[in-house]
């Protein structure tokens, strides 16, 4: 999940084209001409991402999906997000970044993240039309579903209705 750091106020705005031409390590979000840092590198965060990818990669064929980590997603002309994990329907042709609406966007919450920032990012996914938006908090070992009503704690499993995709929350948080 991206941290709430942006360029200082006196930094010039950059164009979407400049953002796309620039390589950031680690990659960053781009919102309304500003580049926003993302929080990465903590063990708990990385472990949850690893578990999510393991689950999705193991089931990609059966679920008919393609899961990827930290790939740019254009959600508006001047907004790019980099979801921690993004799940696409199998068969989508992707160029350098994703332009199509993903099936699922997942954020892993970091200690530095604020609820305001998290809701802004998740709200961007919702406004773009992402049908399934999930968040995982390694510290509290909770999973959340996000929709027009806001965040809801999920116990048991997250699923995608009409598919065989079921993700058991306890598999994401190893003991």
Q: Which two tokens stand for residue 171?
A: 């598999």
Check residues 117 and 134 and name the one with the higher pLDDT. 134
Confidence of residue 123 (pLDDT cuts 50, 70, 90): very high
The pLDDT value given to residue 7: 43
- Choose among 141, 157, 71: nearest CA to 108: 141
Give pLDDT tens digits for 12-33. Answer: 677 767 766 677 666 566 666 6
User: Which residue pairs, CB below 8 angstroms and at least 24 apart, start in 83-91?
Assistant: 83/107, 83/125, 84/1, 84/45, 84/49, 84/52, 84/108, 85/49, 85/52, 85/53, 85/56, 87/56, 87/132, 89/64, 89/65, 90/60, 90/61, 90/64, 90/65, 90/66
The structural domains of the chain, with segments of one domain joined by +, span 40-172
Check residues 122 and 35 and name the one with the higher pLDDT. 122
Confidence of residue 6 (pLDDT cuts 50, 70, 90): very low
| Cis geometry, peptide bond prior to residue 26 (ω within 30 degrees of 0) | yes
Give pLDDT tens digits for 91-105. Answer: 988 888 999 999 999
The pLDDT value given to residue 3: 44
Check residues 35 and 156 and name the one with the higher pLDDT. 156
State yes or no: pLDDT of 2 exceeds 60: no
Q: Which CATH number fits domain 40-172: 3.90.79.10, 3.90.1570.10, 3.30.499.10, 1.20.58.2030?
A: 3.90.1570.10
């Amino acid at each position: 999940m991206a941290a709430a750091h942006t360029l200082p106020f006196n930094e010039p705005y950059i164009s979407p084209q400049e953002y796309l031409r620039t390589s950031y390590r680690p990659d960053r979000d781009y919102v309304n001409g500003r580049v926003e840092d993302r929080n990465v590198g903590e063990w708990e965060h990385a472990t949850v991402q690893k578990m999510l990818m393991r689950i999705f990669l193991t089931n990609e064929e059966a679920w008919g999906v393609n899961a990827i980590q930290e790939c740019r997603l254009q959600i508006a002309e001047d907004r790019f997000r980099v979801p921690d994990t993004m799940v696409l329907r199998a068969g989508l042709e992707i160029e350098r970044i994703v332009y199509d609406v993903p099936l699922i966007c997942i954020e892993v919450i970091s200690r530095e993240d604020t609820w305001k920032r998290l809701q802004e990012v998740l709200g961007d996914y919702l406004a773009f039309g992402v049908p399934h938006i999930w968040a995982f908090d390694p510290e509290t070992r909770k999973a959340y579903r996000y929709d027009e009503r806001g965040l809801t704690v999920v116990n048991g499993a997250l699923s995608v209705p009409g598919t065989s995709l079921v993700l058991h929350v306890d598999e994401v948080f190893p003991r």
